[in-house]
Amino acid sequence: MTTVQKRRARARGGELDDCLRACAVHSGKVVGSIDRRRVELAESLRKLLVVWGTTATTAPAPAPAGGATALLKRAVKGATTPSNSIPGDLLDALLAVANKALECGYDDELNLALVISDTVLAQRRNSRAGWRLRARLLEALGEETEAVEAYEKYLSLTDEDGFGVRAKIAGLRRAGEQERELLALLKRQNPRAAEFAGRAATDVWAEGLASHAVGDWTEAEPRLVAALLALAAEEAPVADRQELLSQYLDLRTTESTDLASLTEALALYAEQRRNRMRGPVADPTIGEVHWISLGEFRNQIAGKSICLVANSGRVGASSLGAEIDAYDLVVRFNSYRIDPRHTGSRTDIHATIHKHGFNWDQQVTTRLVFGGISGDWKYSLRNRLVPGAQTFLGDESLRWPVRNIGRLGTDVWSGIPTTGFNMLYLLDFLDVSPTLDLIGFDFYESGAYRVQEAMKLAITSVHEYTSEKAWVMQRAQSVTDMRISLR
């Protein structure tokens, strides 16, 4: 069986009941996991089972809090759901599970995400979220041609591109071209690779490693290159090809004496890797951005009046645009939406969680990117920052204010702090602003007011909105319908 046939032989979904039962079974597999991503997946699965239990036509009433085991048993025993379409709340819960499964990256979870993807698109052929999920999943599985087709389908269904899909498509296509250029270069540099054509890639690769192990690079290199060419010819998954390309170049770096040829190969390898990660950018070094520390940020805001503008429906109908623009510094969050009459027109500081891709291309003076895990935060910065879109960028000392600056652990603040609370906590901690006002902060009582592509994002339950509101009110000096002043 060829690599392509093996990929296409994966179990696929389509029937809603079968998909939901697969999710219920998988819920049992991840219970008790110590892997952070699987823990998050388990929570999404639990929520899905609750939604399924409340929407099922023959299911009994939902179990009380703590009844995840009962929910799982009921799901497996056959609660039924309407088969002609997916209710909106159930669709959202399924997509949340699939996205968490995709983040896990393990084979079992990727297969689960594939079943969900097939089911969503079988039930809702024009689901934008479904097509974007399918594209990301195919990309993770190394099926780039199919991933590009799915991304293009997603774009055909929306007028917005808040997730940077066009750049992703361009990056995948350019990376594919550069990978082919790299392999053609290696073939020219190693003409003896043709001697091993037609043989199994794994066998030839093993022979190459064996030759290298005994110090015979002359015999090792053509075999390694031949194996790389064979993998490309049989359309092996991108991750497999990239891993072996990396291994080969590592070995060549220690063995090669032709630095010019090696440099040419490494440059092509680096370019195709970068394009796969984030798409083509004019300046991969992110322009003239200046990293700023906690102390430098303090100096930026000292003595200035600051307003923090909520992404709330109340702001969207406020007519406070001129008043907002009158502050020295205007802070906005995540997927903020600009309507000059109501929201004001200026953004000096954009505070965003690293997981969201909204407004990173909007011109601001300072961008503060928040994130709880250093590695994930750095990965997002490499993939999301737009050259020239910011003058200053917060460094790791500003990465997670509530936890790292305030030292509030989960024993004190159990929920994940929101972007707004991280920003407000930081400004309150520094305490160098004579005016610190919150505009339109009603903690989503009036609904969300965001850029269009973010309007369907769920208001997640991992945050403690009630606790954040209480913290704000304890420090408020004055409160009106639209403004909370902390100074």
- At 254-283, the pLDDT tens digits run 998 888 999 999 999 999 998 888 777 666
**CA pair distance 3, 237, nearest whole angstrom:** 8
Q: How confident is the model at residue 458 (pLDDT cuts 50, 70, 90)?
A: low
pLDDT at 159: 81
Q: Residue 187 pLDDT more than 70?
A: yes
Tens-place pLDDT, residues 294-313 = 999 999 999 999 999 999 99
pLDDT at 10: 54
Q: How confident is the model at residue 456 (pLDDT cuts 50, 70, 90)?
A: low
**CA pair distance 78, 24, nearest whole angstrom:** 10
Q: How confident is the model at residue 448 (pLDDT cuts 50, 70, 90)?
A: confident
**CA pair distance 241, 275, nearest whole angstrom:** 16
**CA pair distance 318, 342, nearest whole angstrom:** 5
Q: How confident is the model at residue 286 (pLDDT cuts 50, 70, 90)?
A: low
pLDDT at 166: 87
Q: Residue 250 pLDDT more than 70?
A: yes
Q: Residue 71 pLDDT more than 50?
A: no
pLDDT at 376: 87
pLDDT at 13: 64
Q: Residue 104 pLDDT more than 60?
A: yes
**CA pair distance 324, 480, nearest whole angstrom:** 15
Q: Residue 214 pLDDT more than 60?
A: yes
Q: How many CA atoms lie within 13 A of 73 on its CB side?
A: 6
**CA pair distance 202, 210, nearest whole angstrom:** 12
Q: What mean pLDDT is predicted for residues 180-203? A: 95
pLDDT at 382: 80
**CA pair distance 135, 115, nearest whole angstrom:** 14
pLDDT at 67: 44
Q: How confident is the model at residue 120 (pLDDT cuts 50, 70, 90)?
A: very high
Q: How confident is the model at residue 247 (pLDDT cuts 50, 70, 90)?
A: very high
Q: How confident is the model at residue 369 (pLDDT cuts 50, 70, 90)?
A: very high
**CA distances in angstroms from 423 to 106, 190, 399, 418, 461, listed in the order given:** 34, 55, 10, 9, 19
Cβ pair 22, 156 in contact under 8 A = no
Q: Residue 457 pLDDT more than 90?
A: no
Q: Residue 464 pLDDT more than 80?
A: no
pLDDT at 202: 94
Neighbours of 76 (CB within 10 A): 14
Mean pLDDT of the chain: 87
Q: Residue 75 pLDDT more than 90?
A: no
**Percent of the chain beyond pLDDT 90?**
63
Query: Token pair for residue 306?
Result: 């600051």
Longest dimension (CA), the chain: 81
Higher-confidence residue of 138 and 465: namely: 138
pLDDT at 482: 94
**Percent of the chain beyond pLDDT 70?**
88
The residue whose two tokens read 């509530």 is 402
Q: How confident is the model at residue 3 (pLDDT cuts 50, 70, 90)?
A: very low
pLDDT at 112: 94
